[in-house]
Amino acid sequence: MEMITRVLMNQPVTKLRMLSTVVISCGIVVGMHFQGQLLRPSSVSAAESADIYVSVSLVGGFPEDRGLSLGGQGAPKVTLYNSLGAGVRIGIFPEFTRRIVGVEIEYFGTTGRLLAATSGNNGRGEATAGLTVTNSMTNLIARKPDGEFRPYAGVGVGYSSAIFHGASFPGRTNQDFDSTAAFSYQLMVGVQYSLGGRTFLFSEYKRVTANFHWSDVSLDYHAHHALAGIGWIF
């Protein structure tokens, strides 16, 4: 998490894009909440109004071994090692959707490593680097609204940021990489388990796709993620 935070603090453009996404998403969440309040009959109790929640999670990333291009040439062999990180989200299931359809904003990131065989004018070699990817997403979720187990599924769009650190790329004189951001999207399925009251556990699978570009380097990023976390409904 310290690596993810340090990377973001050094990237004002990426932070601005992500902040814009979060601000817009918060407006959607707040708007849906107040619309639900206007449509809700006065006789409905507070316990029957919108579900507003926050959750935190541990994230395991499992990138697919493909998609690295160096100097316009695809690397013949790429290994993207499994990564580890964390995430946080806030969401709402408003009363006017019967708490079945909701919107959430989410931020999560992972740090792992990359290893690739290279070939070109400078001969064969090996490219290595640490890779940190962070994601700021707005998700549309559909779920089972009640019961002890609450399965759900959703889609999300947003911006993802990637940076290589400790890089060693053959034939490249400058091994320092700035963070780069790209449009990204994700598909997800999961299940919540109620602990009673307003606390729940959840597990989730998601697949994130983005296409990152640096000078002479690009990465077509496809990663599977497994999440486990805890949340609280307000």
Contacts of 96 (CB under 8 A, 6+ apart): 35, 36, 39, 40
Q: Mean pLDDT by 10-residue block, N- to C-terminus, for the chain (234 residues)?
A: 44 45 48 47 55 97 90 82 97 95 98 85 75 97 95 98 88 76 98 94 98 89 97 95
| Residue-level pLDDT at 4 | 45
Q: Are 153 and 191 in contact (CB under 8 A)?
A: no
**H/E element holding 36?**
helix 12-39
CA 205, 206, 207, 212 dihedral sign is: negative
Query: Whole-structure pTM over 0.75, yes or no?
Result: yes
Q: Which domain holds residue 203?
A: 2-233
CATH number of the structural domain spanning residue 35: 2.40.160.20
Q: Are 77 and 40 in contact (CB under 8 A)?
A: no
| Residue-level pLDDT at 123 | 54
| Residue-level pLDDT at 216 | 80
| Residue-level pLDDT at 103 | 98
| Residue-level pLDDT at 173 | 67
How many structural domains compose the chain? 1
- Report which DSSP code applies to 11: -
